[in-house]
DNA sequence: TCATTGTACATCGTATACAATATACATATC
DNA sequence: GATATGTATATTGTATACGATGTACAATGA
C-alpha cells in the first residue's frame, strides 16, 4: 500500500511542536505561556494555538486558568510516587503479556533503544538519554500488544519526563539505572519473568522518586 | 471559606454536555457529528464547539477525520479485552493501597453507590445502573488516594461505558454481577484482600468482555 | 503608612467571515 | 454499461475583530 499523504493541520503541528518543547525541557514546568506570543512565534493566528493548548491541557501537560493564563504543568513529589506505583504495575503486566513470539518480533527495537540510551549516556547527552529511556520502556510495553495499556503508559511517560528534567539526577545514579536496561532484556530473553519483574520494580521506583521508596 | 463563583466557559459547558450525551448513549458509537449542527443546537458559535470536540477527541471519545468529519468512538472487542486486563490490574492495586483508615473514610460513599446501583437494577433503569456501577468502582479507586491511578481509571471507564451501552447484556447476567458489589465490599471490610481481588477478577473480566475470558 | 478603590492594560473567550478540502453526484469518454 | 473526470456542495480549517475578565498599579482616603 502506498503511503497516504496527510496534510497536517496547523493546530496539529503546533500541538506536536509545543509538546516537544515541553518534554524536552525547553519549556520548564511552571512557565507561563501566552497565546498571542506563541501565535507570533509560530507565525499563525491564535486559533490553532488555542486548539493545541486545549488539547495539551486535556493531555495533562498544560494547566489552564480560565480567563487568566496558561502554564506548563509541574509534577509534585506525591504524584511522582503515585505514577511510579502505577507504572510498575503496568510494565509488569506488559512483561507478563509478552510471549515468545512477541519477544522475537520486538527484541530488535527494544535492544536498539537500550543501546541508544547507553550511547547517549556515554557522550553525556542527558536530553537524549531521557528520550531513549522513554522509548525503551514504551517499546517494551508496545510488545505486549495491548493498545489501552500502551496509551496509558505513553501518557504517564509524558509526566515522568517533566519530572526527570526538573530532578537532575546525579550522573552516576543515572548511569546505574540506565545499565539495568540490558539486564532487564537478558532476563526477559531467558523467560525469567519473575526476576525481570523484580528488577523492574527496583529500576522504576528508584529511577523516579528521589525521596520516594516503594 | 465562601464558595468561589466560577464562570464556566461555553466550551467547558459544551464539553460536559457532549460528554454526557456520549456516555449516556444518546449519541451512539459511530454517529457522525457536525460542528455547525451542534452550534445551532446549543445556540453558540462554532468556536466553543470546536474546542470541546478537540478535547473530547484527545480524551478518546471522538474521532476526528481531518477536513472531513467527526464521529463518536466505537470500542472494539479487542480493545475491550485490553482494557479489562488493565482495569483488573489497576483496581487490584487500588485494593492493595486501601488501608484501614482509608477504608473507614470511604466506606460510606462506596456503599451508597452499591446500593444506588442495586436500586436502579430493581426498577429496571439500565442507564442509571451503568452510571452507578461506574461510580462504585471509581469510588473504590479514589479510596486508594492515588490521583494518577484515579485519572487513568476514569478515562478507561468512559470507554467501558461506550461498550456497555452497545453491548446490551441480558438482565439476569447484569443483575448477577451487580450483586457482586456487596460481596466485594464485605471482603474488603474483613480485610481479606486476596479473596476480594479474586472476586474482582471475575467481576470485571466477565462484566466486560462478552466472549472474552481472562 | 496601610488599606481600599479605581483605572489601564494585557490576555483570554467568542463570533463571524473566508479559505481550503473532502465527498457525492452528474457528465463525459471509452 | 463501466470507469474516469469535472463540478457543486457541505464541512472543516484559519484569520481576525470585538467583547469580557483578570491583574497590576496608581490614586485616594483613613
pTM value?
Answer: 0.90
How many Å apart are CA A197 and CA B152, to the nearest integer? 22
- Tell me, in Å, how far CA of A67 is from C1' of C9? 14
Alpha-carbon distance values, B101 to A54, B191, B196 (Å): 38, 12, 18
Report CB contact under 8 Å: B146, A89: no
- Which nt has its C1' nearest the CA of A46? D15
Report CB contact under 8 Å: A146, B6: no
Give me chain A's average pLDDT, please. 90
- Tell me, in Å, how far CA of A133 is from C1' of D8? 53
pLDDT > 60? residue A210:
no
**pLDDT per residue as tens digits for the range A171-184:** 998 999 999 999 99
**pLDDT classification of A213: cutoffs 50, 70, 90:** very low
Contacts of A151 (CB under 8 A, 6+ apart): B60
Contacts of A4 (CB under 8 A, 6+ apart): none
Query: Is the Cβ of B193 closer than 8 Å to some Cβ of chain A?
Result: no
Mean pLDDT of the region A174-201: 93
Residue A175: its pLDDT value, please? 92
SS (H, E, C) chain A: CCCCCCCCCHHHHHHHHHHHHHHHCCCCCCCEECHHHHHHHHCCCHHHHHHHHHHHHHHCCEEEECCCEEEECCCCHHHHHHHHHHHHHHHHHHHHHCCHHHHHHHHHHHHHHHHHHHHHHHCCCHHHHHHHHHHHHHHHHHCCCCHHHHHHHHHHHHHHHHHHHHHCCCHHHHHHHHHHHHHHHHHHHCCCHHHHHHHHHHHHHHHHHCCCCC
Per CB-CB distance under 8 Å, the chain B contacts of A11 are 54
How many Å apart are CA A87 and CA A108, to the nearest integer? 23
The alpha carbon of residue A3 is apart from the nearest alpha carbon of chain B, in Å, by 17
Chain A interface, mutation test: which of B75, B86, B146, most A Cβ atoms within 10 Å? Answer: B86
Residues B53 and A11 sit within 8 Å (Cβ to Cβ): no
Which strand (E) or helix (H) includes residue B166? helix B147-167
**pLDDT per residue as tens digits for the range A119-130:** 999 999 999 999
| Residue percentage of chain A with pLDDT more than 90 | 78
Per CB-CB distance under 8 Å, the chain B contacts of A212 are none
Of A58, A155, A159, Cβ closest to residue B55: A58
How many Å apart are CA B120 and CA B127, to the nearest integer? 8
Query: Is the Cβ of B205 closer than 8 Å to some Cβ of chain A?
Result: no
Residue B214: its pLDDT value, please? 28
Query: Is the Cβ of A148 closer than 8 Å to some Cβ of chain B?
Result: yes
Residue B206: its pLDDT value, please? 75
Report CB contact under 8 Å: B146, A90: no
Per CB-CB distance under 8 Å, the chain B contacts of A8 are 66
How many Å apart are CA A75 and CA A80, to the nearest integer? 7
Residue B5: its pLDDT value, please? 65
How many Å apart are CA B160 and CA B144, to the nearest integer? 21
**pLDDT per residue as tens digits for the range B164-211:** 888 888 899 899 999 999 999 999 989 899 999 999 999 998 755 443
Laid out side by side, the sheet with B62-65 consists of B32-33, B69-72, B62-65
Residue B168: its pLDDT value, please? 83
Per CB-CB distance under 8 Å, the chain A contacts of B90 are 86, 89-90
Q: In terms of DSSP bridges, do strands B69-72 and B62-65 run parallel, antiparallel, or are they unpaired?
A: antiparallel
Beta carbon of A68 within 7 Å of strand C?
Answer: yes
| Residue percentage of chain B with pLDDT more than 70 | 93
Residue A47: its pLDDT value, please? 93
Mean pLDDT of the region A85-100: 96
Helix (H, G, I), strand (E, B) or coil at B98: coil
Query: Is the Cβ of A66 closer than 8 Å to some Cβ of chain B?
Result: yes
How many Å apart are CA B150 and CA B135, to the nearest integer? 12
How many Å apart are CA B126 and CA B107, to the nearest integer? 24
Report CB contact under 8 Å: A82, B58: no
How many Å apart are CA A84 and CA B148, to the nearest integer? 9
The alpha carbon of residue B122 is apart from the nearest alpha carbon of chain A, in Å, by 33
For chains A and B, count residue pairs whose Cβ atoms are closer than 8 Å. 86
Query: Is the Cβ of A112 closer than 8 Å to some Cβ of chain B?
Result: no
Query: Is the Cβ of A55 closer than 8 Å to some Cβ of chain B?
Result: yes
In the block, cell 442509571 appears at: B128
Q: Which of A71, A82, A72, A57 is nearest to A156 (CA)?
A: A82
**pLDDT classification of A4: cutoffs 50, 70, 90:** low
Low-confidence ranges of chain B (pLDDT < 50): 1-2, 209-214
| Residue percentage of chain A with pLDDT more than 70 | 93
Beta carbon of B6 within 7 Å of strand C?
Answer: no
Residue A38: its pLDDT value, please? 92
Cα first-last separation, chain B: 49
- Which nt has its C1' nearest the CA of A34? C11
**pLDDT classification of A167: cutoffs 50, 70, 90:** confident
Query: Is the Cβ of A86 closer than 8 Å to some Cβ of chain B?
Result: yes
Residue B1: its pLDDT value, please? 43
The sign of the torsion formed by the CA atoms of B157, B69, B55, A160 equals positive
Of chain B residues 21-40, which have a CB less than 8 A from chain A?
none
Amino acid at each position: 500500500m502506498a503511503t497516504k499523504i496527510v496534510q497536517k493541520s496547523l493546530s496539529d503541528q503546533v500541538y506536536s511542536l509545543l509538546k516537544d518543547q515541553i518534554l524536552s525541557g525547553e519549556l520548564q514546568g511552571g512557565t507561563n505561556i501566552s497565546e498571542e506570543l506563541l501565535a507570533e512565534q509560530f507565525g499563525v493566528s491564535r486559533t490553532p494555538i488555542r486548539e493545541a493548548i486545549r488539547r495539551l491541557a486535556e493531555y495533562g501537560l498544560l494547566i489552564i486558568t480560565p480567563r487568566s493564563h496558561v502554564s506548563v504543568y509541574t509534577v509534585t513529589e506525591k504524584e511522582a510516587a503515585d505514577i511510579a506505583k502505577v507504572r510498575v504495575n503496568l510494565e509488569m503486566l506488559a512483561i507478563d503479556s509478552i510471549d515468545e513470539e512477541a519477544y522475537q518480533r520486538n527484541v530488535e527495537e527494544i535492544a536498539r533503544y537500550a543501546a541508544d540510551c547507553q550511547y547517549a549516556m556515554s557522550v553525556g547527552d542527558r536530553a537524549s538519554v531521557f528520550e531513549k529511556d522513554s522509548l525503551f520502556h514504551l517499546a517494551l510495553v508496545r510488545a505486549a500488544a495491548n493498545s489501552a495499556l500502551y496509551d496509558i503508559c505513553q501518557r504517564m511517560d509524558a509526566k515522568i519526563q517533566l519530572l526527570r528534567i526538573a530532578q537532575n539526577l546525579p550522573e552516576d545514579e543515572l548511569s546505574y539505572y540506565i545499565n539495568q536496561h540490558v539486564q532487564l532484556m537478558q532476563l526477559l530473553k531467558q523467560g525469567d519473568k519473575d526476576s525481570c519483574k523484580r528488577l523492574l520494580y527496583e529500576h522504576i521506583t528508584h529511577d523516579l522518586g528521589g525521596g520516594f521508596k516503594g
